[in-house]
C-alpha cells in the first residue's frame, strides 16, 4: 500500500508539471549534438532569480536576490512573495540565494534557504528553515551562521544540497579574502555539513580538532555556486569560480583541501600574475575538470530523465560570463566531452535544475530575469 501511495504522489506531481502549458514556446529549433530542442518561457519579471525548487503539488519556488521568495503555479508568477522570511541583507552578490526542500517535505513542510545576514562584523551567509503554510513561512529558525562576518559583498557561495542520508551541505565562498579559505577557524571558503536541524555530525572530519570550526567538511574552496549529488554514487559534486581562469569541478569529500589560494589554474584579474605556488602541491586536491579561460559557472544538475535519453548521465552547468549552457559527458569520474550551446539565447544562466517531468529548467540572472524550460523537438 505504501508503494502505491508513493506511486500516486509521483504521478500527481508529474501531472501537475505537465499542466504548465501556459508557457510561451519559441518557434526556433535549437540543434545540439544529441537532441533538438525548443525554449519554453515559464515566467518573466523575476529580479535576479538565484535558486529554484519544485514542490510536490506542481508549484515552484524561486528566490530573488533582493530578498523575495516567489511562487510559480500553473505557469503564472504569484503577485505577492512568500511572507515570513527573516531580515535579508541584499548587497553586492549577497541577498536571498538558494532554496531546497527537506527530504521529507511532504510530511514536515520544511524548506531551507541561504541568504546574506547581518550581524557583528558585517554580513555573511546564513541558512534558515521554516514550514511552508499556504503563502508564508512559519516557525522560521536560523540553523547556521557563517563566522566571522565581514564587510565585503562578494563570494557568498550558498548552494544547499541534502544527501541520501539526510545531511545538509552548505557551500561557502571565501568572501573575497582568499587567505580565509585556508584558515581552520574560519567557515569561509569551505563546504559545511550539518544535520537537518543544524546540529553538527559526530563524524565531521575536523570535529574535536583544536582551532577548527567543527561544521567544516572541506577547505580551500574559492566560491562554490553549483552542487549536485551524483545519481549513481550519491557523492556531492560541485563547481567553483576561479579568479581569471581556473573554474573547477570537484568531488566533495571529507577533510579534503581543494587548494585555493595555494594552487590554482587561474591568475590575478587584469594583471595576469600568478597566484599562490602554482597548479600542483602535495596534499592539495587536483580538480576533476577545469576551465581556462573562465566560464563563470553557476547552477549544476545531473540529467537522469527520459525526455532527453541521449543526455542521461551527463552533467549540465550554467555560465554567467558566456551566457550559455554547458553539457559534460562523463565516464565515471572523468569528463570525456564538452558541448556548449544557448550562447546569448537567454542571458546569464544562474541555476540549472531537472524538473519532475524530466525536462531542464534554467534561471537567468538579470534585472528582468526568467524561468525557462528546455523541451525536446520530436
Per-residue three-class SS string for 211-250: CCCCCECCECCCCEEEEEECCCCCCEEEEECCCECCEEEE
68-71 own/partner pairs: CB under 8 Å, 24+ apart: 68/96, 69/96, 69/99, 69/113, 69/137, 70/46, 71/135
Nearest to 103 by CA among 57, 15, 158, 165: 165
How much is the pLDDT for 19? 39
- For the question of residue 135 being annotated catalytic, the response is no
Helix (H, G, I), strand (E, B) or coil at 190: coil
Q: Give the class (CATH, top level) of 27-376.
A: mainly beta
How much is the pLDDT for 129? 98
Residues 6+ apart with CB under 8 A from 362: 299, 318, 325, 346, 349, 351, 352, 371, 372, 373, 374
How much is the pLDDT for 196? 98
Which is the catalytic residue, given 155, 187, 239, 241? Answer: 155
CA dihedral 149, 151, 153, 157 (to 10 degrees): -20
Domain spans, the chain: 27-376
How much is the pLDDT for 24? 76
Task: Give, for all 378 residues of the chain, the pLDDT tens digit.
Answer: 334 333 334 444 444 444 343 567 777 999 999 999 999 999 999 999 999 999 999 999 999 999 999 999 999 999 999 999 999 999 999 999 999 999 999 999 999 999 999 999 999 999 999 999 989 999 999 999 999 999 999 999 999 999 999 999 999 999 999 999 999 999 999 999 999 999 999 999 999 999 999 999 999 999 999 999 999 999 999 999 999 999 999 999 999 999 999 999 999 999 999 999 999 999 999 999 999 999 999 999 999 999 999 999 999 999 999 999 999 999 999 999 999 999 999 999 999 999 999 999 999 999 999 999 999 997
Residue 126, all three cell numbers: 546564513
Amino acid at each position: 500500500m505504501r508503494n502505491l501511495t508513493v506511486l500516486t504522489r509521483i504521478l500527481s506531481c508529474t501531472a501537475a508539471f505537465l499542466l504548465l502549458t501556459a508557457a510561451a514556446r519559441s518557434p526556433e529549433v535549437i540543434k545540439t549534438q544529441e537532441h533538438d530542442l525548443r525554449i519554453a518561457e515559464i515566467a518573466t519579471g523575476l529580479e535576479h532569480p538565484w535558486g529554484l525548487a519544485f514542490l510536490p503539488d506542481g508549484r515552484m519556488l524561486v528566490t530573488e536576490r533582493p530578498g523575495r521568495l516567489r511562487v510559480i503555479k500553473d505557469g503564472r508568477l504569484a503577485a505577492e512573495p512568500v511572507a515570513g522570511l527573516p531580515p535579508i541583507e541584499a548587497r553586492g552578490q549577497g541577498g536571498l540565494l538558494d532554496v531546497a526542500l527537506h527530504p521529507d517535505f511532504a510530511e514536515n513542510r520544511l524548506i531551507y534557504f541561504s541568504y546574506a545576514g547581518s550581524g557583528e562584523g558585517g554580513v555573511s551567509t546564513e541558512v534558515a528553515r521554516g514550514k511552508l503554510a499556504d503563502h508564508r513561512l512559519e516557525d522560521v529558525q536560523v540553523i547556521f551562521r557563517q563566522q566571522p562576518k565581514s564587510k565585503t559583498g562578494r563570494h557568498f557561495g550558498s548552494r544547499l544540497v541534502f544527501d541520501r542520508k539526510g545531511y545538509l551541505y552548505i557551500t561557502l565562498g571565501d568572501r573575497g579574502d582568499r587567505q580565509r579559505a585556508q584558515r581552520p577557524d574560519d567557515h569561509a571558503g569551505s563546504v559545511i555539513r550539518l544535520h537537518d536541524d543544524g546540529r553538527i555530525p559526530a563524524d565531521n572530519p575536523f570535529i574535536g580538532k583544536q582551532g577548527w570550526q567543527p561544521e567544516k567538511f572541506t577547505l580551500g574552496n574559492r566560491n562554490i555556486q553549483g552542487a549536485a549529488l551524483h545519481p549513481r554514487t550519491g557523492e556531492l559534486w560541485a563547481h567553483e569560480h576561479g579568479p581569471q581562469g581556473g573554474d573547477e569541478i570537484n568531488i566533495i569529500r571529507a577533510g579534503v583541501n581543494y587548494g585555493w589560494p595555494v594552487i590554482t589554474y587561474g591568475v590575478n584579474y587584469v594583471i595576469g600574475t600568478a597566484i599562490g605556488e602554482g597548479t600542483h602541491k602535495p596534499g592539495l586536491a587536483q580538480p576533476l575538470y577545469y576551465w581556462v579561460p573562465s566560464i563563470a559557472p553557476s547552477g549544476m544538475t545531473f540529467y537522469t530523465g527520459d525526455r532527453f535519453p541521449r543526455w542521461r548521465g551527463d552533467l549540465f552547468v550554467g555560465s554567467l560570463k558566456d551566457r550559455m549552457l554547458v553539457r559534460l559527458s562523463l565516464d565515471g569520474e572523468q569528463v570525456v566531452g564538452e558541448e556548449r550551446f544557448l550562447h546569448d539565447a537567454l542571458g546569464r544562466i544562474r541555476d540549472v535544475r531537472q524538473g519532475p517531468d524530466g525536462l531542464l529548467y534554467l534561471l537567468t540572472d538579470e534585472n528582468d530575469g526568467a524561468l525557462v524550460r528546455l523541451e525536446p523537438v520530436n
